[in-house]
Structure 1
Amino acid sequence: MDWSGALKTLGSAEEIEIETRRAADAPVHHTTVWPVVEEEEVYVRSLRGDSGRWYQDISANPDVVVHLDDEEIPVRAFLAPDAQSVERASDGLRSQYTDSPHLDSMLRDEILHTTVRLEPR
């Protein structure tokens, strides 16, 4: 799947699985996250803030694999705590998950800095 196709699919996906590892030779860890596509950029955020396992993994090793519709998409994770990225991700979460009882948990001030942008490798 090319990146433009992935963006379309990610934009309509409620959840995706990301595969992380702390180092290239470390065991793989899988986590389900909410993707948001805003202005052709893909964002995810750690519900558990800094203590989220996947967030700790990408901080050490930003090479991640997104599992989507039986496809594996290699991406690089970039920490995106800047105001513009946080706002885009939050706006996308509000728009895409408006009916979820968990939405407020993803918009807590103490986790906003764990916004991450995913880009193709």
Structure 2
Amino acid sequence: MTHWNDADLAKVGAAEELDLESERADGTLRDPVTMWVVRSGGHVYVRSVKGTAGPWYRGVRSRLRGRVAAGGVRRDVTFRPADPGEYAAVDAAYRKKYGRYTSIVEHVLTDRARASTLRLEPR
């Protein structure tokens, strides 16, 4: 597993949104999807509001590779399903970062959304 360097971790973690391009079976990238991103400890996470049935999430699952851009950082990444033991910390990170969007943030805190939690690891 490769880790984020401190500067990139800080920039991506502080970014309001992240653009995610998942890799197709032939190695080409899908169109970017913009989403919220959070940092918990030394890791960066994203979730699908629609859970594992979400279109972008299904695309990610085909290869578990892609590219992300946030906070001026653009990196090729591997998508790792988060362990359920990480969910509480990721929930807290979403609440802290996006809590001002009360009616929206609750959508990434459902059991359905938690099941789609992905850790982004730079390649």
TM-score (norm 1): 0.88
Q: Which amino acid aligns with 1:14?
A: E
1:54 lines up with 2:67 in the alignment = no
User: Does structure 2 retain, via aligned residues, the 8 Å contact 1:21–1:29?
Assistant: no
- Say which of 44, 59, 84 aligns to 1:42: 44
Where in structure 1 are there 5+ consecutive unaligned residues?
none
In 2, the alpha carbon distance for the partners of 1:73 and 1:111 equals: 24
Where in structure 2 are there 5+ consecutive unaligned residues?
none
Q: Which residue of 1 aligns with 2:8?
A: 6
- Say which of 11, 21, 26 aligns to 2:23: 21
RMSD of Structure 2 on Structure 1 (CA) = 1.7
- Say which of 109, 112, 115 aligns to 2:114: 112
Question: Shift in Å at residue 63 of structure 1?
Answer: 1.1
| Count of residue pairs brought into register by the alignment | 119
TM-score (norm 2): 0.86
Give aligned-pair identity as a percent.
29
Q: How does 1:73-112 map to 2 (within 5 A)?
A: 73-80=75-82, 82-100=83-101, 101-112=103-114
Deviations 1:39-86 (A, max 9, x none): 111111011112212211111111110112454211110011x22221
In 2, the alpha carbon distance for the partners of 1:32 and 1:83 equals: 24
